[in-house]
Chain A
Amino acid sequence: GAVVSQHPSWVICKSGTSVKIECRSLDFQATTMFWYRQFPKQSLMLMATSNEGSKATYEQGVEKDKFLINHASLTLSTLTVTSAHPEDSSFYICSAFTAISYEQYFGPGTRLTVT
């Protein structure tokens, strides 16, 4: 149980284009989903907290207009990187939180490369 999927697992896009990443909780309902970014050899940095049906809460320094988050249902959250630049290249990981076990379950991550 407690499986979280992410799609795509990797993506290469050109500078200036937008990329959408999906995060799904497959066998449970997630009241909250978190989006993290991880640069090579660094820790996970929380970007935003997403609650179903409400606006995401962004961490300090994260541009909400650049990283659009939509949490349409209790099993799906999406992160759209708009007008991507090479410095946005990173490993993006989502996690889904369930109040039943009070745990976060991480997705497999999406590796974004912007050329």
Chain B
Amino acid sequence: GQQVMQIPQYQHVQEGEDFTTYCNSSTTLSNIQWYKQRPGGHPVFLIQLVKSGEVKKQKRLTFQFGEAKKNSSLHITATQTTDVGTYFCAGRKFQGAQKLVFGQGTRLTINP
């Protein structure tokens, strides 16, 4: 079945350092979404990427979708303590699919 792998599993950084998490799918994706889950909370939608090679920015967050639509990354510039949480990618296998396949998530902790 379709698998979505996410690395690293954990990342600890000093406040102000950059952070990147990578997502790789075993199959081509129709689109990919990114979520953030704070400790004790539920996943909150961040963004959706649809086009091959797409790059989107949200303030200090940069999201990329690979040319082959099989990988994606989330990069945070100059992390802040509010960035703490687990970041999940989730992919849809084909256009029209409702089901999301989640990656394992990357837990980000920050030393203030």
Which residues of A are interface residues toward B (Cβ below 8 A)?
32, 34, 41-46, 49, 93, 97, 103-109
Contact = CB atoms under 8 A, between A and B. Distances in A.
Given A43-B88, A43-B105, A44-B88, A49 B42 contact: no
Contacts of B99: 34, 46, 49
Contacts of B88: 43-44
A108 B100 CA distance: 18
B98 A41 contact: no
Contact residue range for chain B? 10 to 19
Contacts of B63: none
22 contacts: A34-B99, A41-B107, A42-B104, A42-B105, A43-B104, A43-B105, A44-B88, A45-B102, A46-B99, A46-B100, A46-B101, A46-B102, A93-B42, A103-B45, A104-B45, A104-B100, A105-B45, A106-B42, A106-B44, A106-B45, A107-B42, A109-B41
Contacts of B35: 106
B103 interface: yes
A44 B98 contact: no
A94 B48 CA distance: 19
A13 to B, nearest CB: 20
A98 B48 CA distance: 15
Contacts of A109: 41-42
B66 interface: no
Interface string B78-110: 000000000010000000001111111101000
Nearest to A46: B99
Nearest to A105: B45
Give the most central of B43, B88, B107: most A CB within 10 Å.
B43
A43 B42 contact: no
A32 B88 CA distance: 21
